[in-house]
Structure 1
Amino acid sequence: MPYYSDELIEEVRSRNDIVDVIGSYVHLQKKGSTYFGLCPFHNEKTGSFSVSPNKQMYYCFGCGAGGNVFTFLMQYENFTFPEAMQELADRVGIELPKQEMTSAQRREADRRTQLLEINKEAAKYFYMLLRGPRGQRAHEYFKKRELSDETMQKFGLGYSDQYSDDLYKYLRSKGYDDEILKETGLVTIDEVRGGHDKFWNRAMFPIMDVHNRVIGFGGRVMGDGEPKYLNSPETKIFDKSRNLYGLNIARSTRKNQLLLCEGYMDVIALHQAGFDNAVASLGTALTSGHASLLKRYTNEVYLTYDSDGAGVKAALRAIPILKEVGITTKVINMRPYKDPDEFIKALGAQEYEERIKKAENSFMFQIRIMQAGYDMDDPESKTAFYNEIAKKLLGFTEELERTNYTQAVSREYSIPYDDLRKLVNSMAMKGGIVKPQTKLKSGINEKNKKEDGMKQSQKLLLTWLIEDNSLFDRIKGRISADDFTEELYHKVAKEVFSQYETTHTVNPARIVSMFTDEDEQREVAGLFNATIHQVEGKNDKATALRETVVRIKQNSIDYRSKHLAPTDMEGMMRIIEDKRALEELQKIPE
């Protein structure tokens, strides 16, 4: 990963006004000193997405997305930090220093660039053939599938010629040699046949990554040839388990969820019908890599797999993989039709929208499919089914969630709730999954409550200091960055106090750049954009400030006392001095 100095990062950030950058993606309206618009990271109608020119930060009060101009591009464009840095530097004409690469690294980078160029060239050639006399058969095929010219253009659809060395000759004419062409997955070169194409006489589907770069192809044979569908092999630029067809378009959807399909035509048909949130895996079963990729863009996936036996099995495999990364999954029922393409042709987009609204909870889907393997008229088989339900319910580690699903299953399958609950608890006890519940001593709950309250106090004071820099003078000598015991807030406080001591201002956007973890960036952004409504009058604010400072200082003393080494006499003296000074904190002027 390239290294850039803090000064260069700050120069690039400060030269890119966040309102201008985000305004090129989101329609913003000015209200007071802040701009508002519809959040691009979740579906909303109220416009809770705010952009502050003063702070040079954005924050959504609906979903909590927030950060500076780098964070926005990393979230919206799925850029890495170096890619966001390059994009913003290019935007304002800043030339970034060239990173020194080894000769092997340079060869690898050049190779990848060449492979992307060749794939792009092939896509353009296939696109051109489809729209000429040689592509008539494929063009008729797409028209028979009721695709509009606009849709064919949107997805870059094309045709590979009936002659099996057509693309090879074309790419050679463009100056590419056999050595690099062998690595593209587009051609095969052997001593007997020479160069021949991987794809010929096929309707072509370019596969693009999230940055709209062509990384591979899928091809549907014209006629009775085998295999019916063919995909590019994996190459240096094409990893099937880490890319999804249509994600380059779907990642910008304003819908809450993504629709996960099985095939290219399903994705295209859904997009044409207005469902711009459809994607598909690339001729492989869903992998953990796919799930992690989906998680970057959504927390909710609707499976719209084929309604046949193979589709049901694929859904059952996908559900736990998606759950593992924290994605909520539902299953769309397309019966009596096989897939989304057939469904929409027969019943239309509006009816498909209704099926989305009625999509089945993935756990209830699993139970329903599981029931088919049991004879519900046979008491033994019925009991075995209930036991399997209980085992699956134990998969919910949170008691409230387990209770909710137990109630749902009880209603759906007419099982007395108390009986099912007892069965689940009995099975858990036998398996050692949970221990008998004992009443917690009040001190434990009080401790957790106290810790949560202290975190809020530290967050509150940091928010006040960022909003009103004059408060620094009022707490000077009483509170320092070292009094913030929450790890993340301690890091933020050190920078906040340091900036104020140096410049008498605080630059929130620069502080966000210190953090690379996405969750930390969100929390810091929330810290800098918190709205505080609980104190209104001048006296109330002064009282709240004084009480908050006292709580933080007392916690700081307790924390240091607990972690003080017995031989640290200097630390002991500081604690004694702080205890004496604690009373003075009551004298902060109102």
Structure 2
Amino acid sequence: MPYYSEELVEEVRSANDIVDVISGYVRLQKKGSTYFGLCPFHNEKTPSFSVSPGKQMYYCFGCGAGGNVLTFLMQYENYTFPEAMEALADRAGIELPKQEMSQKARQEADKRARILEINKIAAKYFYAQLRMEQGNIGMEYFKKRELTSETMTKFGLGYSNKFSDDLYQYLHKQGYEDDILKDSGLVTIDERRGGHDKFWNRVMFPIMDANNRVIGFGGRVMGEGEPKYLNSPETMIFDKSRNLYGLNIARTTRRPYMLLCEGYMDVIALHQAGFDNAVASLGTAFTPGHANLLKRYTKEVYCTFDSDGAGIKAALRAIPILKEAGLTAKIVNMKPYKDPDEFIKALGPEEYQKRIDNAQNSFMFEIQVMEQNYNLKDPESKTAFYNAIADKILEFEEQLERENYMQAVAEKYQMGFENFRKLVMHRGTRGGITKEPRTLKSGINEKNKKEDGMKQSQKLMLTWLIEEPGLFEIIKPYIGPEDFTEELYREAAKLVFKQYEEGKLNPAKIISMFTEEEQQKEIAGLFNARLKEVTTQSDKEKALKETIIRVKKNSMDYRSKHLDPTDMAGLQKLVADKKNMEKLQKLEICIFPPNKDKI
């Protein structure tokens, strides 16, 4: 592991029961030996997120998210591995020794800490500059925007003065070298100009993470200059797609929803007006990472974007992302004003609250925007519009939801409900949308049959070995780790076989041995493969035998194709495997006990 020994990682992981930890985030219900709930990583109506106390793993059969308790915190809380370790160690009352860090890991951790330190010093420096004579231009700008001194203090607002190497010189005197200053994103180093500041002659907005640590900055230029708004580049502590401006304050709001804005000033103006639940993306388009971040704190998001064309486009982009994350999206109408800041200055907080109370359903907003592309006085264009609405309604998976939206649309556009319903059903049947997906005997839907069948067989083999340790003695004469032709599967198989030989199968520990998040997710999938339609004991045993044969035959074919003609040992192994295959064909397998959970 990059930071802690394998033994310590396992001590912390095993001290935190995965069901107990995940129950704090997801409502789980026990079914057989496994717990199920709605997946926190994608939007679903039917629970496909499983948590296995036996394996100490979670796996979503819908989106494929999976791992152990450490992986869960890293995915859900956006923690780094050390942060997940610290959280779980603290939860279990385990003290993490500092000396466990490798030299490289210590250097990375030190570097991260130093960049956070530099950002904190820079924030204090900008804050002080705003309140000095050279910061008058910035102070005048904020006063013109009607910000109080309390608000400016609350958000740590500052100013970077007109000298383009001012902060660089200050930080240099504090003992920070060029390399670390460059990595902080606050300074640019080049041969011709030397060190110079990323931000100068700008009012400054410190960007904080959910734990109130300064991770970056936004700056608005004073006077003429491009770009008008400038943000810190991404660094090892600053990921624009996983942080939101104002969330450090908004996360503690008592309001049951979040207000999603476009700009920093909108967030600040709303907070000053008493709406402490406002956040904004950081100079970038709204992403699934932002939506998942919001999902930790709320179930409803009110988009309060600019009322111009760009704001409408931003809302249309955000709506499907919010829905995909399982969040309800509504649209706050700012007209005739451009944005929340302008609206509140003109009409006050009470009127803004009324706009929130009357916020538009996101689907009806999308229909309203679509309507502008059609001439409803022209019969042909009007028909095309109704067809487009029908197609959009068919995007809803549940019949009840489709019915509700058909009713709402029919009322809004004064259509007969039954006629409109027939139109929706006609277009759905014609496009094959309302038909039930055909399920193959294997239990895999045709639309999901993207995965190679051999990969699935190898996954099933590993899942069965984990769930039925008695299989090892049966398959050992025929199957070994070398028979798994996918590299990652082979690595996992080596660890599974090794654990069996040592008498301690522990799939959750195996996940911790892989450092990449994608690898951990794939390993979790290897230990959670299923054949949905196979239920009886004899069917299970037949499927097992077929799987062993497929895996072995594939292994032999693979080795035959890649065999060096001079490799006599390899050739002899293939001959021996062929004879073994004949024995395997005649083998009767009796391993799965009756009434076992589905495999």
Aligned amino acid, residue 230 of structure 1: L
Which residue of 1 is the match for residue 422 of structure 2? 422
Which residue of 2 is the match for residue 156 of structure 1? 156
Residues 227-242 of structure 1 correspond to what in structure 2 (within 5 A)? 227-242=227-242
Q: CA deviation at 1:272?
A: 1.1
Which residue of 1 is the match for residue 503 of structure 2? none
1:85-109 CA distances to partner (integer Å, 9 max, x unpaired)? Answer: 6368679996323474444333322
Which residue of 2 is the match for residue 112 of structure 1? 112
Which residue of 1 is the match for residue 139 of structure 2? 139
Which residue of 2 is the match for residue 519 of structure 1? none
- Contact (CA 8 Å) 1:303, 1:331: kept in 2 or not? yes
Point out where structure 1 has 5 or more consecutive residues left out of the alignment. 23-69, 438-481, 483-514, 517-557, 576-590
**Structure 1 residues 369 and 98, CA gap change in structure 2 (3 angstroms):** same
Aligned amino acid, residue 426 of structure 1: H
Aligned amino acid, residue 388 of structure 1: A
Which residue of 1 is the match for residue 356 of structure 2? 356
Q: CA deviation at 1:217?
A: 0.6
Partners in 2 of 1:571 and 1:171 — Cα distance? 67
Q: CA deviation at 1:415?
A: 1.3
TM-score w.r.t. length of structure 2: 0.62
Partners in 1 of 2:539 and 2:591 — Cα distance? 15
1:106-149 CA distances to partner (integer Å, 9 max, x unpaired)? Answer: 33222222211111111110011111222112112112211111
Q: CA deviation at 1:559?
A: 7.6
Partners in 2 of 1:397 and 1:159 — Cα distance? 51
Partners in 2 of 1:371 and 1:92 — Cα distance? 57
Partners in 2 of 1:234 and 1:7 — Cα distance? 34
- Contact (CA 8 Å) 1:159, 1:202: kept in 2 or not? yes
Partners in 2 of 1:102 and 1:75 — Cα distance? 24
Which residue of 2 is the match for residue 182 of structure 1? 182
1:489-529 CA distances to partner (integer Å, 9 max, x unpaired)? Answer: xxxxxxxxxxxxxxxxxxxxxxxxxx99xxxxxxxxxxxxx
Which residue of 2 is the match for residue 280 of structure 1? 280
The alignment partner of 2:269 has SS state of helix
Which residue of 2 is the match for residue 388 of structure 1? 388
1:150-177 CA distances to partner (integer Å, 9 max, x unpaired)? Answer: 1111111111011111101001011111
**Structure 1 residues 105 and 383, CA gap change in structure 2 (3 angstroms):** same
Q: CA deviation at 1:321?
A: 1.5
Which residue of 1 is the match for residue 304 of structure 2? 304
Residues 34-433 of structure 1 correspond to what in structure 2 (within 5 A)? 83=83, 86=86, 95-98=95-98, 100-433=100-433
Partners in 2 of 1:385 and 1:99 — Cα distance? 67
Q: Which moved more, 1:350-359 or 1:100-109?
A: 100-109
Which residue of 2 is the match for residue 553 of structure 1? none
Partners in 1 of 2:267 and 2:160 — Cα distance? 21
Partners in 2 of 1:85 and 1:429 — Cα distance? 51
Partners in 1 of 2:410 and 2:16 — Cα distance? 58
The alignment partner of 1:330 has SS state of strand
Partners in 2 of 1:80 and 1:284 — Cα distance? 23
Aligned amino acid, residue 343 of structure 1: F
The alignment partner of 1:183 has SS state of helix
Q: CA deviation at 1:403?
A: 0.6
Partners in 2 of 1:324 and 1:317 — Cα distance? 12
- Contact (CA 8 Å) 1:89, 1:95: kept in 2 or not? yes
- Contact (CA 8 Å) 2:12, 2:89: kept in 1 or not? no
TM-score w.r.t. length of structure 1: 0.62
**Structure 1 residues 559 and 147, CA gap change in structure 2 (3 angstroms):** farther
Q: CA deviation at 1:376?
A: 0.7
The alignment partner of 1:424 has SS state of helix
**Structure 1 residues 420 and 174, CA gap change in structure 2 (3 angstroms):** same
The alignment partner of 2:184 has SS state of coil
Partners in 2 of 1:150 and 1:98 — Cα distance? 40
1:60-80 CA distances to partner (integer Å, 9 max, x unpaired)? Answer: xxxxxxxxxx99x99998767
**Structure 1 residues 150 and 77, CA gap change in structure 2 (3 angstroms):** farther
Partners in 2 of 1:8 and 1:390 — Cα distance? 53
Residues 6-45 of structure 1 correspond to what in structure 2 (within 5 A)? none
- Contact (CA 8 Å) 1:204, 1:217: kept in 2 or not? yes
Which residue of 1 is the match for residue 483 of structure 2? none
Q: CA deviation at 1:567?
A: 6.4
Partners in 2 of 1:431 and 1:568 — Cα distance? 46
**Structure 1 residues 569 and 105, CA gap change in structure 2 (3 angstroms):** closer
Partners in 2 of 1:377 and 1:364 — Cα distance? 20
- Contact (CA 8 Å) 2:540, 2:592: kept in 1 or not? no
Higher RCO, Cα 8 Å, sep 6+: 2
Q: Which moved more, 1:80-89 or 1:420-429?
A: 80-89
Partners in 2 of 1:362 and 1:203 — Cα distance? 35
- Contact (CA 8 Å) 1:12, 1:85: kept in 2 or not? no
Point out where structure 2 has 5 or more consecutive residues left out of the alignment. 25-69, 438-467, 469-510, 513-534, 543-586
Q: Which moved more, 1:302-311 or 1:233-242?
A: 233-242
Partners in 2 of 1:238 and 1:436 — Cα distance? 44
> Equivalent pairs: percent with the same residue?
66
**Structure 1 residues 390 and 117, CA gap change in structure 2 (3 angstroms):** same
- Contact (CA 8 Å) 2:12, 2:85: kept in 1 or not? no
- Contact (CA 8 Å) 1:12, 1:94: kept in 2 or not? no
1:252-311 CA distances to partner (integer Å, 9 max, x unpaired)? Answer: 222211111000000011111111111101111112222222222222111000001110
**Structure 1 residues 311 and 430, CA gap change in structure 2 (3 angstroms):** same
